[in-house]
Structure formats: C-alpha cells, structure tokens
Chains A and B, each alone.
Chain A
Amino acid sequence: MAWTGDFLCDTFKREILVALHDFTITTGSVFKMALYDNTPSFTAATTGYTVTGELPAAGNYVTGGETLTNVTPTLDTGVAIIDFPDLVWGTATFTAYGGMIYNSTAGTESVCILDFSGAKTATAGDFTVQFPAYVAATAIIRIA
C-alpha cells in the first residue's frame, strides 16, 4: 500500500450538490485534516474518514486531526474557489505521508486526499501544511 497522488473524492462532488458540505466561515461545517502513515491506499473512491493508517495520538497529534478554519467560498473569474488558512501542529514529533480533509459535521465524509510525496517529519518542531494561493488557478478546491 502507498500513496498514489492527490484526489478530490468522488462522493464529495455529489455531496456538494445535495448541500452536505458548507464552507461558510464560522457557521458552516467543521472540516478537519487527519494525517496518515504510509499504509493507506486512498483514491478518488475514498468515501470517508478512517482511523486505519492514521497517526497514533502521540507527539502532539490528536486522533481525528486538526480543525481547519473555513473561508467562505468566492468566485474568481467564474471559478468557485475554496480556501483554508495554513494548518500547524506545534511542538510536533511525528512523521506523516499524507492527509485527508473530511467533514466532521456531516458524518465524516471525505473531501479530498493529499499526498505529501514522501515522509514529512517534525521533531519537537512545527508541522505545517501550506495551502495554495486563493485564486482560480491554484485554490485548494476549484469548481469551474
């Protein structure tokens, strides 16, 4: 088993059409990012959060992952874009190979799979996930 790339989950594409995911700031769904070791085989067919392969609760990692801060979606040149501020695990000591963003409000439905392209290790340091620029060409989730 290994990471095979980034995926926007297929079920997410259907679920946004039935208003299951709300990215509105403060009042929307609560999205989280969980971190995983090198054992999962996530794909676009992944449907929800799982503890299988998730990092253990150690080294300042809490099972379930960290809560993301919503940014109310907007339009940029006709493209609907979603954004989150960067995520930080402080004073972290762990190694992760990838993450899953999921909706913890709606029953843990998965949004996307993010492949870190190898082991990323923090040792009593910061483990930071940088999100891309919030524009039509690069935003973390874009619907054209």
Chain B
Amino acid sequence: MSIGQGNSGGAQLGGIKVVTTSNEGLSVDYWTDRLLERIVYVAEDSDSVIKEQALAFKAQIRAVIFTYITHAIKSDRTTLHGLLLQKGEPQLADIIRRLN
C-alpha cells in the first residue's frame, strides 16, 4: 500500500512455523522460550549495549517464567484430579496425581 509521492512499502505477510508432537505435549521449556520471544524480542542489529541488557534481562526472567508455567500445569492437574474423583474415577485421578 503506497500513499503519496516517494513512499515505498506495502501490505506484507510474515512467515509462520508449525510445530507438532506425537503422544505427548510440548515441554515447559518450549513454552517458556516462546513466551520469552514474545515478551523480549532482541533484533540482531540492535545497539550492542541495549542488546546486551535485553539478553541479560531475558536470561533473568526465563527461570521465573519457567516456574510459573510449571505452577499453572500443576494447578490444572490438581483440578483434573478433583474432577476425576468427583466422577468416581479414583484410579485415573491417582495417575494424574502422580504426574505432579
């Protein structure tokens, strides 16, 4: 889309990536890294000082994000455990409990 004289540009589409798994879900590490990429994007051509600070921040919060995602999964398994018990499935509930 060009407006006015001398402007260049247009409407462009970015590239996506598809990731699949078999008989398991994606790991906490994977989701931690994806979330980090969304929160802190560091361009290769960034100023070196800014880049260094951004990468340091990224490394610091990675462990925090990993922990909270793990907590969310544990909480969801707790919910599943409770639901299975309510539905009269104690053996299935115990399988879920052991995952935690």
Which residues of A are in contact with B by a Cβ distance under 8 Å? Answer: 6-8, 12-13, 79, 85-86, 90, 92, 96, 112, 114, 116, 120-135, 137-144
Take A130-B34, A143-B11 as given contacts and tell me if A122 and B16 are in contact as well, using a CB distance cutoff of 8 Å. Answer: no
Which residues of B are in contact with A by a Cβ distance under 8 Å? Answer: 1, 8-26, 34, 37-38, 41, 43
> Smallest CB–CB gap between A24 and chain B, Å?
19
A143 touches B16 (CB 8 A): no
Main secondary structure of the interface of A (DSSP, over half): strand
Query: Chain A contacts of B15 at CB under 8 A?
Result: 6, 132, 138
A144 touches B19 (CB 8 A): no
B16 touches A140 (CB 8 A): yes
B18 touches A6 (CB 8 A): no
Take A85-B38, A133-B41 as given contacts and tell me if A142 and B18 are in contact as well, using a CB distance cutoff of 8 Å. Answer: no
> Smallest CB–CB gap between B67 and chain A, Å?
20
B14 touches A131 (CB 8 A): yes
Take A122-B21, A125-B22 as given contacts and tell me if A144 and B14 are in contact as well, using a CB distance cutoff of 8 Å. Answer: no
